[in-house]
C-alpha cells in the first residue's frame, strides 16, 4: 500500500543565512531574519533533500536566536538537505486544542520516516546536563519515535555536549545498546532511554530534576490519554496532576532506576499533595522503604526505595496497581461512559506507552557531529 501523502511547511535551507540565526545577531540591526518557507510533500521525491528537526528550544528565531537551529541549518547545507521540517514552522500553534493534538500526532510520525537532525546542546551548560535534557517529556517522546526510524539520525552539537565521546561502559547492556568504543554521550543516553517509558520522565518533572515549560502539554505528548489528562489538569493541583499521569502511564510498566538514565534521587514522597498520600508499608528489609500511594484514600501505586551503602546506585521502583485507572476516573468525577470509551481504547493506549514492537527492528544509523562558530 502506498504511503499517504501529507503537505508540510518547511524551512527552505538554501535561502537562509545560518549566521543570522545565532543569538546576539537577531535584532542587532533592527531587522528580523528572513525565514523562507516552502510547502513540501511527504514522502518527498528525493528523500535525501528533506529532514525533520528535533531540538531543545534555546530561542524563538524572532528575537533571541537559536544556536541549535543555526547549527542544523549549517549541517543541512553540508549534506545537501534543502528542506527542514521544524515544529515552530510546520505546526500552526494557534489551532484549537483538539485540532492541534491531531496535527502534532501527524507531525510526530515523521520522526519514524525521514532523516532526523537532533540538536540539544545549550551554551553554558555542562555535558552532564545532557541526561536531563534528553529526558524532557517532549524530547523523550521524539526519542522514542527515533527507534522506529530505519534511516539516519544525526546529532548536531555546538558546545561539545551531545557529541562528546563518552567512554564509560554500562554493565548489563540494554537491549538497544551498541557495545562499541568512542560512542557519543548522545548515543549512550539514547540507547538507555529506549529501554524506559514515560514514567521516568514524568517523575523527573514532578521531582524537579527535569524541566518542562507547560505541564499541560502532556495531552499532546501522550495523545491516547489526552481526555483524562486534560480533565486532571483542570481539576488538580500541579503535583497531584503529574502524579496522576505517572500512575496512568505506569499501568503497562514497572519502573526501576538502577544505574538508570538519570542516576538521581527520587523524593516525590516528600512533596506536597492535596489528594494523594504516601503511607509507609511495614516490612522486614532494613534497606528498603516502601510507600503505598493513595488517591483520596484508595491505593493506586507503590513506591519502593532500596538504599545502598552511601546512597550510590539506590534503586527505585514505581508500580501501578490494577484498577488504578478506574479510581482516577471516579476521583475526577468522569461519567461511566468516558471510562468505557477509555477501556475500549486499550490497544491504542498500550501502543502509545510501550515499545515492545521495536524489539526486532534494526537500530537506526546514529551519527554525532560538532559544528564550530563562526561557521566556515
- pLDDT value of position 174: 45
Residues 340-345: contacts with CB within 8 Å, 24+ apart?
342/227, 342/228, 345/224
pLDDT, tens digit, 9 for 90 and up, residues 300-343: 999 998 876 555 567 788 999 999 999 999 999 999 999 999 99
Helix, strand and coil percent figures for the chain, each rounded to 5: 40, 20, 40
Give the pLDDT confidence score for residue 337 in this predicted structure: 97
> What is the C-alpha to C-alpha distance for residues 2 and 42, in angstroms, rounded to an integer?
12
Q: What average pLDDT score do residues 59-80 get?
A: 86
Which grid cell sits at 298? 484508595
Question: Can you give the residue ranges of every domain in the chain?
Answer: 1-195+357-376, 197-354
What local confidence, expressed as pLDDT, does residue 5 receive?
Answer: 64
Q: How many CB atoms lie within 10 A of CB 289?
A: 16
Do 248 and 225 meet the contact criterion of CB atoms below 8 Å apart?
A: yes
pLDDT given for residue 313 in this prediction: 63
Task: Render pLDDT for 351-360 as a digit per residue (tens, 0 to 9).
Answer: 889 887 788 8
Residue 36 has pLDDT above 70, yes or no: yes
Say whether pLDDT at 173 is over 50. Answer: no
String of DSSP letters for 129-157: GHHHHTTSHHHHHHHHHHTT--SEEEEEE
Label residue 131 by pLDDT band (50, 70, 90): confident
pLDDT at 179 over 60: no
SS3 291: strand
Q: Choose between 23 and 218: higher pLDDT.
A: 218
The pLDDT score that the predictor gives to residue 97 is 85
- Cell (9 digits) for 270: 516528600
pLDDT (tens digit per residue) in 187-215:
988 888 887 889 989 999 999 989 999 99
The three cell numbers locating residue 37: 518557507
Average per-residue pLDDT for the chain: 86
| 3-state SS assignment for residue 202 | helix
Higher pLDDT, 80 or 184: 80
Three-class secondary structure of residue 99 per DSSP: helix
* Rounded Cα gap, residues 166 and 161, in angstroms: 10
**CA–CA distance from 132 to each of 56, 126, 147 (Å)?**
12, 11, 19
* Other beta carbons within 10 Å of 197: 19
The pLDDT value given to residue 26: 55
pLDDT band, very low/low/confident/very high, at 169 (cuts 50, 70, 90) = very low
At 83-98, the pLDDT tens digits run 999 998 999 988 998 8
List C-alpha distances in Å: 343 to 225, 230, 251, 347. Answer: 11, 17, 13, 9
In 3-state terms, what secondary structure has residue 246?
helix
Rounded to an integer, what is the distance from CA 37 to the centroid of its chain?
A: 26
Q: What is the mean pLDDT of residues 284-289?
A: 80
Of 15-29, 142-156, 219-233, which gets the smallest average pLDDT?
15-29
User: Per residue in 132-166, is it b (16+ CB within 10 Å) or e — as a string?
Assistant: bbbbbbbbbbbbbbbbebeebbbbbbbbebbbbeb
Amino acid at each position: 500500500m502506498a504511503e499517504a501523502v501529507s503537505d508540510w511547511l518547511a524551512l527552505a535551507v538554501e535561502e537562509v543565512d545560518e549566521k543570522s540565526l545565532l543569538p546576539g545577531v537577531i535584532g542587532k540591526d533592527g531587522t528580523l531574519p528572513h525565514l523562507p518557507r516552502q510547502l513540501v510533500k511527504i514522502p518527498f521525491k528525493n528523500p535525501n533533500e528533506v529532514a525533520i528537526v528535533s531540538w531543545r528550544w534555546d530561542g524563538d528565531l524572532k528575537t533571541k536566536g537559536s544556536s541549535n537551529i543555526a547549527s542544523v541549518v549549517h549541517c543541512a547545507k553540508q549534506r545537501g538537505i534543502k528542506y527542514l521540517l521544524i515544529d515552530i514552522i510546520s505546526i500552526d500553534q494557534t489551532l484549537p486544542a483538539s485540532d492541534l493534538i491531531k496535527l502534532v500526532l501527524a507531525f510526530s510520525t515523521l520522526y519514524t520516516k525521514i532523516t532526523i537532525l537532533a540538536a540539544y546542546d545549550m551554551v553554558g551548560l555542562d555535558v552532564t546536563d545532557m541526561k536531563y535534557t534528553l529526558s524532557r517529556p517532549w524530547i523523550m517522546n521524539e526519542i522514542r519515535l527515533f527507534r522506529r526510524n530505519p534511516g539516519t539520525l544525526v546529532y548536531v552539537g555546538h558546545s561539545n555536549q551531545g557529541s562528546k565521546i563518552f567512554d564509560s561502559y554500562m554493565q548489563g547492556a540494554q537491549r538497544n545498546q551498541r557495545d562499541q568504543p568512542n560512542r557519543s554521550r548522545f548515543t549512550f543516553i539514547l540507547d538507555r532511554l529506549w529501554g524506559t517509558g514515560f514514567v521516568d520522565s514524568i517523575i523527573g518533572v514532578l521531582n524537579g530534576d527535569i524541566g518542562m515549560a507547560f505541564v499541560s502539554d502532556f495531552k499532546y505528548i501522550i495523545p491516547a490519554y489526552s481526555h483524562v489528562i486534560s480533565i486532571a489538569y483542570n481539576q488538580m493541583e500541579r503535583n497531584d496532576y503529574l502524579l496522576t499521569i505517572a500512575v496512568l502511564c505506569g499501568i503497562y510498566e514497572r519502573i526501576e532506576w538502577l544505574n538508570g538514565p538519570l542516576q538521581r534521587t527520587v523524593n516525590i514522597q516528600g512533596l506536597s499533595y492535596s489528594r494523594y498520600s504516601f503511607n509507609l508499608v511495614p516490612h522486614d528489609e532494613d534497606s528498603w522503604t516502601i510507600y503505598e500511594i493513595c488517591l483520596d484514600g484508595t491505593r493506586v501505586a507503590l513506591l519502593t526505595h532500596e538504599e545502598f551503602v552511601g546512597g550510590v546506585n539506590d534503586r527505585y521502583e514505581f508500580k501501578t496497581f490494577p484498577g488504578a485507572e478506574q479510581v482516577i476516573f471516579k476521583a475526577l468525577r468522569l461519567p461511566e461512559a468516558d471510562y468505557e470509551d477509555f477501556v475500549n481504547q486499550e490497544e491504542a493506549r498500550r501502543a502509545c506507552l510501550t515499545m515492545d514492537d521495536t524489539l526486532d527492528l534494526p537500530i537506526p544509523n546514529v551519527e554525532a557531529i560538532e559544528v564550530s562558530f563562526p561557521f566556515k
